Each structure stands twice: as C-alpha cells, then as structure tokens.
C-alpha cells in the first residue's frame, strides 16, 4: 500500500538556521514520483519539486535542496539559511505510475521561522 509519512508535525527555527523536513514513503511500485508542495499562511498550494524514482541525484534550487535516498525510502527537504517567508506547511506526496490516479499526501510539517 502507498503511504507517505512526515513524522515532524511542527518545527520552529530562528532565521538563518538550516532546517530539514523529513519524508518517508512506502510503495510497491518500482516506478513512482515524489513531490514537495508548500502551503503558506495564505492557503494556496505551491509546487516545489517533482522527482522520479530513477533519478537519485540530489537537487538544489537556491536555498532549497532535496535528498532522495531509495535505500531508506526517504525524500528529505532542506532549507538553508531559513527566512521568515519560509514559514508554511510543507507537504510531501507520492504518485505511482501503475496507480496514476492520485497523489498520496503526507500529513504535512508546519515550519515556523522566527526573526
């Protein structure tokens, strides 16, 4: 069965600290996609990244980086030098190629960055 676990319900940091949001997934598919979305206080869902299961290279985009480790079924998200504008709920999600009808979301991690 597919499942996404975000064990950290809430994280608080002070500006400029680095922070890592954990995501662990379960799937029986060998081909799947992993996503991260950001939900700022305004409520919309903002797409951050999509990664397929055959691409294990880490990705960096500005202050954001993602570490995909198939061996531990994890797709962790790190924000370097956090800023107040990073305060949001972050969702990790999974979609399987042979079950292409939906995204399976984790329960989200609320990140609060204090000045």
- Please tell me the count of residues contacting other proteins according to CB under 8 A: 24
- The strand ranges marked E within the chain are 3-5, 10-14, 19-21, 24-26, 32-39, 46-52, 59-61, 64-69, 74-79, 88-96, 99-105, 109-114
Contact predicate 63/79, CB 8 Å: yes
The verdict on 41 binding other proteins (CB under 8 A) reads: no
Stretch that binds other proteins, among 18-26, 61-69, 75-83, 92-100 (CB under 8 A): 92-100
The verdict on 8 binding other proteins (CB under 8 A) reads: no
The verdict on 36 binding other proteins (CB under 8 A) reads: no
Which tokens go with 7?
Answer: 């064990």
Stretch that binds other proteins, among 16-24, 58-66, 75-83, 99-107 (CB under 8 A): 99-107
The verdict on 43 binding other proteins (CB under 8 A) reads: yes
Smallest distance from the beta carbon of 16 to other proteins, in angstroms? 29
The verdict on 84 binding other proteins (CB under 8 A) reads: no
The verdict on 3 binding other proteins (CB under 8 A) reads: no
Spatial distance between the Cα atoms of 39 and 21, rounded to a whole number of angstroms: 14
Contact predicate 105/5, CB 8 Å: no
Binding residues for other proteins (CB under 8 A): 4, 32-33, 35, 37, 43-45, 47, 50, 91, 93, 95-97, 99-103, 105-108
């Amino acid at each position: 069965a597919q499942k996404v676990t975000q064990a950290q319900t809430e994280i608080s940091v002070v500006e400029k600290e680095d922070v890592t949001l954990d995501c662990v997934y379960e799937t029986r598919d060998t081909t799947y996609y992993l996503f991260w979305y950001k939900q700022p206080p305004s409520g919309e869902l903002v797409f951050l990244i999509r990664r397929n299961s055959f691409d294990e290279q880490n990705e960096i985009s500005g202050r954001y980086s993602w570490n995909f480790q198939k061996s531990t079924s994890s797709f962790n998200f790190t924000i370097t030098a956090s800023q107040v504008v990073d305060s949001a709920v972050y969702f990790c999600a999974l979609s399987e190629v042979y079950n292409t009808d939906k995204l399976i979301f984790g329960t989200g991690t609320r990140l609060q960055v204090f000045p």
